[in-house]
């Protein structure tokens, strides 16, 4: 089975529907901030033949694959090696200050999960790497072997929402003193041994939350999301639309906060008429977060935790 056949873009039809009104006009530009295997990007280029696409990814391997997949679209697709919070710099260099659509599909890509050597998946033994861009940054093994115990507890609690963080970290610190961590299988084993039986009987693989926390720390994901969503809203032309797929509550909360703030009026209380500069600059397109259908989850189990939010830019910000 090829990578393309294995890859099913999450909530694809709904993402296309949300962005459609902004991308129908000739000359429209859409940014796929998380290119991955280019499933969403290919659908955008096919569905909106008058649109041009800018694709970003921090993973050189993903970019190489996407370049091959999107080659038939020629110069309609411009692909850039960048993290999504670098969006303003990318648009500046391309001379494209405003765009009509922005799509984020946050989290880890199918390719990264499926390639055992990348160390993202707790179900396969592999080197503990977890860097989305293997050309820079510290690996998950370095985090485990060098961070102070208190810092590791904070990471597991904050990024993994792991209630047993202290117990897991105590076990990790004991084990790393004997021998540094190098592989995912050893970490999974240490986590299993550290947890009470009652905890191990619930909630799937007991290593899941720890792996999520390490991945977020290694890639600086939440900080990048915190910078990227406001930057994407700023880059939208009036009438432009943004769609964001998040996969855990921490990401979704950040997205919700930015979109809700943009959709609120900022006038001081008690004004009889709200001046233009206080009017909302966004209109929400989703009621809360939309979830994948049962059919979508049956087709692609990785869609199960997805939460989709969308908004439209309805006015310029007054200086």
Inter-axis angle of helices 184-194 and 165-178, to 10 degrees?
Answer: 130
On whether 89 is known to bind a ligand per the annotation, the reply is no
Round to whole Å and give the CA distance between 137 and 185: 22
Provide the 10 A C-beta neighbour count for residue 183: 14
3-state secondary structure the chain: CCHHHHCCCCCHHHHHHHHHHHHCCCCCEEEECCCCCCHHHHHHHHHCCCCEEEEEECCHHHHHHHHHHCHHHHHHEEEEECCHHHHHHHHHHCCCCCEEEEEEECCCCHHHHHCHHHCCCCCCCCECCCCCCCCCCCCHHHHHHHCCHHHHHHHHHHHHCCCCHHHHHHHHHHHHHHCCCCEHHHHHHHHHHHCCHHHHCCCCCCCHHHHHHHHHHHHCHHHHHHHHHHHHHHHEEEEEEEEEEECCHHHHHHHHHHHHHHCCCCCCCCCCCCCHHHCCCEEECCCCCECCCHHHHHHCHHHCCCEEEEEEECCCCCC
Relative orientation angle of helices 208-219 and 221-235, to the nearest 10 degrees: 60
Per the annotation, does 240 bind a ligand? Answer: no
Say whether 105 counts as a known binding-site residue.
yes
Three-point CA angle 147, 148, 149, nearest 5°: 115
Please indicate if the annotation marks 74 as binding a ligand: no
Tell me: is residue 112 an annotated ligand-binding position.
yes
Angle formed by the axes of helices 165-178 and 149-160, nearest 10°: 140
> Which residue has 């507890």 as its token pair?
153
Q: Binding site: which residues? A: 38-40, 57, 84, 105, 112
Q: Binding site for S-adenosyl-L-methionine: which residues? A: 38-40, 57, 84, 105, 112
């Amino acid at each position: 089975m090829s990578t393309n056949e294995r890859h099913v873009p999450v909530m694809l039809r709904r993402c296309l529907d949300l962005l459609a009104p902004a991308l129908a006009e000739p000359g429209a530009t859409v940014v796929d901030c998380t290119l991955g295997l280019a499933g969403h990007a290919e659908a955008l280029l096919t569905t909106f033949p008058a649109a041009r696409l800018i694709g970003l990814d921090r993973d050189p391997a993903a970019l190489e694959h996407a370049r091959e997949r999107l080659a038939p679209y020629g110069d309609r697709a411009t692909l850039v090696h960048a993290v999504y919070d670098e969006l303003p710099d990318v648009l500046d260099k391309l001379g494209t200050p405003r765009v009509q659509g922005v799509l984020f599909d946050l989290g880890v890509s199918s390719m990264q999960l499926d390639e055992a050597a990348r160390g993202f998946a707790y179900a396969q033994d592999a080197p503990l790497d977890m860097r989305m861009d293997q050309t820079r940054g510290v690996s998950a093994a370095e985090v485990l072997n060098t961070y102070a115990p208190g810092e590791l507890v904070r990471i597991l609690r904050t990024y993994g929402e792991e209630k047993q963080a202290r117990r897991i970290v105590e076990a990790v610190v004991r084990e790393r003193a004997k021998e540094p961590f190098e592989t995912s299988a050893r970490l999974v084993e240490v986590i299993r041994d550290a947890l009470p039986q009652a905890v191990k009987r619930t909630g799937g693989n007991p290593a899941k939350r720890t792996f999520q926390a390490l991945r977020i720390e290694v890639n600086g994901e939440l900080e990048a999301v915190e910078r990227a969503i406001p930057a994407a809203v700023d880059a939208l032309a009036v009438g432009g639309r943004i769609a964001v797929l998040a996969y855990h509550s921490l990401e979704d909360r950040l997205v919700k906060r930015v979109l809700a703030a943009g959709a609120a009026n900022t006038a001081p209380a008690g004004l009889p008429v709200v001046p233009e500069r206080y009017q909302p600059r966004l209109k929400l397109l989703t009621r809360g977060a939309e979830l994948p259908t049962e059919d979508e989850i049956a087709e692609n189990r990785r869609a199960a935790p997805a939460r989709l939010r969308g908004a439209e830019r309805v006015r310029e910000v007054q200086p």
